[in-house]
Amino acid sequence: MTNLIDRLSPEARHAPESGIVEVFNAGWGREDLIPLWAGEGDLPTPEFICRAAKASMDRGETFYTYQRGIPQLREAIAAYHIDLYGKAFSPERFFVTGSGMQAIQLTVQAVAGPGKEVIVPTPAWPNINAAVEIHGARAVSVPLRESPDGWNLHVEDIEGAITPATTALFLNSPCNPTGWVASKTVLEEFLNLARRHKLWIIADEIYAQFYYGEGGRAPSFYDICSDDDQVIFVNSMSKNWAMTGWRIGWISAPPQLGQVIENLIQYSTSGVPSSSQWAAVAALTEGKEFLAEQVERARIGRQCVLEGLRGINRINVQPPEGAFYLFFSIDGVSDTRQFALDLVRQTGVGLAPGTAFGKGGENYVRLCYARKKDHLEAAIQRISDWLPEI
Amino acid sequence: MTNLIDRLSPEARHAPESGIVEVFNAGWGREDLIPLWAGEGDLPTPEFICRAAKASMDRGETFYTYQRGIPQLREAIAAYHIDLYGKAFSPERFFVTGSGMQAIQLTVQAVAGPGKEVIVPTPAWPNINAAVEIHGARAVSVPLRESPDGWNLHVEDIEGAITPATTALFLNSPCNPTGWVASKTVLEEFLNLARRHKLWIIADEIYAQFYYGEGGRAPSFYDICSDDDQVIFVNSMSKNWAMTGWRIGWISAPPQLGQVIENLIQYSTSGVPSSSQWAAVAALTEGKEFLAEQVERARIGRQCVLEGLRGINRINVQPPEGAFYLFFSIDGVSDTRQFALDLVRQTGVGLAPGTAFGKGGENYVRLCYARKKDHLEAAIQRISDWLPEI
């Protein structure tokens, strides 16, 4: 048979497989599986959100719609921001996308192309690097530094990675997988750096409300940047409102970029279904209580797994400041890919290997704690029972 | 204010605005509007299709799902092909995408990258060129030749445009906007050309069933190519089942490309909502009758507008062999952009200017006839009444 792979574009051919899928495949179908590998909770989307989608279908809204999103959703997103950040936002800066992933992809497409470089602090969600490289740009990893009290971003490390080809810096805070949160001081240093070098910042603050420090939400670039700073935010309905399967996100960008972003949407997926957008409107306008419950659930899950893992010999874990993951290492375990494969095969506990998260993550595994407490406790028990065997 | 547009990547910055939107904006909101500019019928999605999506939500299928599509949908797509083309198809060759547009975008990404060229016969749907150029590749237009009996593709014209940078040929048949349909002989010449030069064919046969010749469907590359030919098909649920707003399509490709296509899906939108996929399953398995009605409706619409326009002095129109558009010219009208703007402003009839469809289309306007007969008749009447004034 002809090898057709060789005839594909190098950018497509070299896009990596997800480093989590291999482990997923090793455990999939087990009846006793406790899947803590994905960035997803265990609650389905609340009924009031589904109801809004169904009502839209009943109104016959099954035609092409606005490329930038229906006006009602752009207004609801603006209102959400006004409430969360306590300042003014125009609906004109929000662009509805077919997932947070697509928000990242289109933003990368807007600011970086063939031959350009995007700096990505690591460990990081692996899809970020892939989204950069698939466009012929290069993702330049800059590992955070580790210290006994956790992860630290040193802005001089970022600055040292800037070259004439650099067009953007990616910052995910609160961070998946580490749970690291950039302080306002770090954000300011980062913004000043971007301003000095005229670089774009791609700000991924998807986990803003999953924050365990003071103030109810994580520090944000919205707190410090002005309207015409080169900052583009990517976001998603997935985590806050248990809507991972819906594939709805948004880009928040200076309105002058509107036509370019509309064109990028037009030529990728040409918009998001109206019914899904009405579901998002319901989530944003009626979902405040549900979101508070989600955050509280994560807080309880975090406490549960932190205490549980700390009670296990050989496990090193720091309390994460945000998001809903523990990223921990195990004394004597250096091949975390093999560890995750063995763990799921022998205990049914699914974790994501740190190898999937790039430089600096190799010795860790990621556990998602946005789940039922009894499942989390059972997972800890199984890890605790099994660990002495390896 | 800083001009941020200049700091975007050239590929993003140069993506063109849709050439139809300007006319759309000139007419939008008119109470008497007859919108014949989009590639969309006037029927909402049938209830049995919406019901399947709602049932999926009720089952709580609101989580991440298979990147390649749920197995039931891939099987339903395979069964649809078996029925339509009378040969065997494995579900393994089908990949669910978030629209026919995304099927095109990911396919272009797979086979062409920066510095490469894709040959596109024109007039063509404008999004094809844009999808190519947004990836840093070049879309090379090759106009079909016009003769008194319609449009003709000369394969030697295509061959003459091949350079060492060419990696793919795009072929849309039945064609939007011209209604041209490639005969089996033309498809064979095209396939042989691609084989000789080891080029990919991107086959857009979305309108296969909207065909007014013998045999119930248009000739297809499926009739002549083998499983490991370099042919990738793009398709959509939109036109057959009145599902334009749902954003569901599929790629049909040699299964050995599966992992690469999965990766491209992963890093763009990470899959399609389960509920939408179940709607598509319902359409494919229970929608044969509805589809037959859609085709019959287009046939009636075609007859109606053909007869109507032929009765108008100065209008030159050929019966289209497929799809659901008339692409016609008007004696004395060379600026079709201005014509379409004037027409919608003065009569409320919305047509798409041929300028939007690339080389060879400039002197034409496109009319979509997949609509109610009385609306079509009213549109013809208004055009007929107004035309003497210009």
B52 touching A (Cβ < 8 Å):
no
Where in chain A do CATH 3.90.1150.10 domains reside?
5-45+289-383
What is the Cβ-side half-sphere exposure of residue B165, based on CA atoms within 13 angstroms? Answer: 13
Three-point CA angle A60, A63, A66, nearest 5°? 120
> What's the pLDDT tens digit per position in A7-42?
999 999 999 998 888 888 888 889 999 999 999 999
Is residue A45 predicted with pLDDT exceeding 70?
Answer: yes
Mean pLDDT of A211-232: 95
Question: Residue B248: closest CA among chain A residues belongs to which residue?
Answer: A269
Phi, psi of B171, rounded to the nearest 5 degrees: -135, 120
B346 touching A (Cβ < 8 Å):
no
Q: Which of B44, B114, B263 sits opposite A62 (nearest CB)?
A: B44
> What's the pLDDT tens digit per position in A77-127?
999 999 999 999 999 999 999 999 999 999 999 999 999 999 999 999 999
Q: What single-letter amino acid sits at B294?
A: Q
Interface test with A, best of B229, B267, B277 (most A CBs within 10 A): B267
Mean pLDDT of A151-158: 95
Q: Which of A54, A130, A263 sits opposite B17 (nearest CB)?
A: A263
Q: What single-letter amino acid sits at A366?
A: R
pLDDT recorded at residue A19: 83
CA distances from residue A358 to A78, A125, A205, A361, B200 in whole angstroms, order as listed: 34, 8, 20, 6, 34
B96 touching A (Cβ < 8 Å):
no
The CATH homologous superfamily for domain B5-45+289-389 is: Aspartate Aminotransferase, domain 1 (3.90.1150.10)
Is residue B21 predicted with pLDDT exceeding 90?
Answer: no
Contacts of B60 in chain A (CB under 8 A): 44-45
- A197-226 per-residue burial string, b: 16 or more CB within 10 A, e: under 16: eebbbbbbbbbbbbbbeeeebbbbbbeebe
Question: Residue A130: closest CA among chain B residues belongs to which residue?
Answer: B267
Residue B2 confidence class, pLDDT cut points 50, 70, 90: confident
B185 touching A (Cβ < 8 Å):
no
Cα–chain center distance at B369? 15
CA of A3 to nearest chain B CA: how many angstroms apart? Answer: 8
CA of A214 to nearest chain B CA: how many angstroms apart? Answer: 31
Residue A374 confidence class, pLDDT cut points 50, 70, 90: very high
Does the beta-carbon distance from A63 to B7 stay under 8 Å?
no
A10 touching B (Cβ < 8 Å):
yes
pTM of the model: 0.97
Is residue B214 predicted with pLDDT exceeding 70?
Answer: yes
Distance CA A68, CA A257 (A): 12
pLDDT recorded at residue B27: 87
Question: Is the CB of residue B176 less than 8 Å from the CB of residue B361?
Answer: no
Is residue A241 predicted with pLDDT exceeding 80?
Answer: yes
Residue B148 confidence class, pLDDT cut points 50, 70, 90: confident
Residue B227 confidence class, pLDDT cut points 50, 70, 90: confident
Where in chain A do CATH 3.40.640.10 domains reside?
63-286
A25 touching B (Cβ < 8 Å):
no
Distance CA A265, CA B14 (A): 14
Is residue B29 predicted with pLDDT exceeding 90?
Answer: no
Contacts of A276 in chain B (CB under 8 A): 273
B240 touching A (Cβ < 8 Å):
no
Where in chain B do CATH 3.90.1150.10 domains reside?
5-45+289-389
pLDDT recorded at residue A1: 67
Residue B147 confidence class, pLDDT cut points 50, 70, 90: confident
Is residue B244 predicted with pLDDT exceeding 70?
Answer: yes
Question: Residue A236: closest CA among chain B residues belongs to which residue?
Answer: B269
B63 touching A (Cβ < 8 Å):
yes
Pick the CATH number of A63-286 from 3.40.50.300, 3.10.20.30, 3.40.50.1580, 3.40.640.10: 3.40.640.10
Contacts of B272 in chain A (CB under 8 A): 247
Is residue A59 predicted with pLDDT exceeding 70?
Answer: yes
pLDDT recorded at residue B198: 97
> What's the pLDDT tens digit per position in A321-346?
999 999 999 999 999 999 999 999 99
> What's the pLDDT tens digit per position in B254-269?
999 999 999 999 999 9
Distance CA A235, CA A207 (A): 9
Contacts of A8 in chain B (CB under 8 A): 110-111, 257, 260
Where in chain B do CATH 3.40.640.10 domains reside?
58-287
Q: Which of A4, A17, A256 sits opposite B257 (nearest CB)?
A: A4
Contacts of B135 in chain A (CB under 8 A): 135-136
ipTM value > 0.90:
yes
Question: Residue B135: closest CA among chain A residues belongs to which residue?
Answer: A135
Which candidate, A38, A161, A110, A94, places its Cα nearest to that of A268?
Answer: A110
CA of B17 to nearest chain A CA: how many angstroms apart? Answer: 6
Interface test with B, best of A3, A6, A9 (most B CBs within 10 A): A9
Percent share of chain B, pLDDT over 70: 100
pLDDT recorded at residue A339: 96
Q: Answer whether CATH 2.170.120.20 is correct for domain B58-287.
A: no
Q: Answer whether CATH 3.40.50.620 is correct for domain A5-45+289-383.
A: no
> What's the pLDDT tens digit per position in B31-87?
999 999 999 999 999 999 999 999 999 999 999 999 999 999 999 999 999 999 999
